[in-house]
Amino acid sequence: MSSKSEGVRLSPSVTLGSRLTKLIESGITNRTELAELCGASVSTIRRNIPESLKRTANYTTGHPRCLASQERELIEGGILGDGTLIKNPKGSAFEFDNKKADLVEWVAAQLDRLVVRDPNERYVQSRPIGHYKGMFRFRTATWKDLDTLWEGWYQSADSEIPCGQAAHHRSKQIPDGFKITPLSGLLWYLGDGSLVRKSTKEASQVVRLATHCFPLRA
């Protein structure tokens, strides 16, 4: 947790609106994170965010933006491991969590075109990279083109729901026709892979890859 957010949280005498103003101005905009820092529900946070700081339908990050092939491959490699696509009314955003700051910073540099910093836009990402509960986190803005990926990589949840997700959530799936590339495979390996030494005649080393939040049949 950043020192900025700690300072706000340690001032219980201020109103919730004032506390939210300080947190948002420090760069924390995720409402789930705001709720945890303030000890309130997400719905309470929504009601108490000052009008001047609320996101409106006028922000332009939901406009179309065609993904470059390398951006798509990197995002898909992230989805295979510690990344996820978060659906919003205006499109979807890509979020990637990892304990290694240099890896998160590298991902952020590769996807910098999907971050919004233009002060002329209604919604500016003042802090695309954050640190929370020992994890470093990168998140893009919301883009309609990421919705296409979301539709392919997520399916309606059923009785086989991974990671304790609620039934109304969607679970990850491998899209039909998906082919792993060197770039998507690299990010998958960096996030959830390991090199294991073997003492068999067939191989001296093998690569192991884990998946995050996929149903067992995947």
Cβ atoms of residues 31 and 45 within 8 Å: yes
Q: What is the pLDDT of residue 191?
A: 81
Q: What is the pLDDT of residue 4?
A: 42
Residue partners of 132: CB distance under 8 A and separation at least 6? 1, 33
Q: What is the pLDDT of residue 165?
A: 46
Residue 34: name the closest of 127, 162, 101 by CA.
127
Structure tokens at 73: 């491959």
Q: What is the pLDDT of residue 122?
A: 66
> Can you list the residues of the chain whose pLDDT is less than 50?
1-13, 159-162, 164-168, 218
Q: What is the pLDDT of residue 8?
A: 41
Q: What is the pLDDT of residue 3?
A: 43
Q: For 37-71, what is each residue's pLDDT tens digit?
A: 888 888 888 888 877 776 655 555 656 678 999 99
Q: What is the pLDDT of residue 156?
A: 63
Q: What is the pLDDT of residue 55?
A: 61
Q: Where are the domains of the chain?
A: 3-53, 57-218
Burial class (CB in 10 A: 0-12, 13-18, 19+), 2: middle
Q: What is the pLDDT of residue 164?
A: 46
Cβ atoms of residues 184 and 76 within 8 Å: yes
Amino acid at 88: N
Q: What is the pLDDT of residue 5?
A: 44
| Cα 65–chain centre separation | 18
- pTM tops 0.75: no
Q: What is the mean pLDDT of the chain?
A: 78
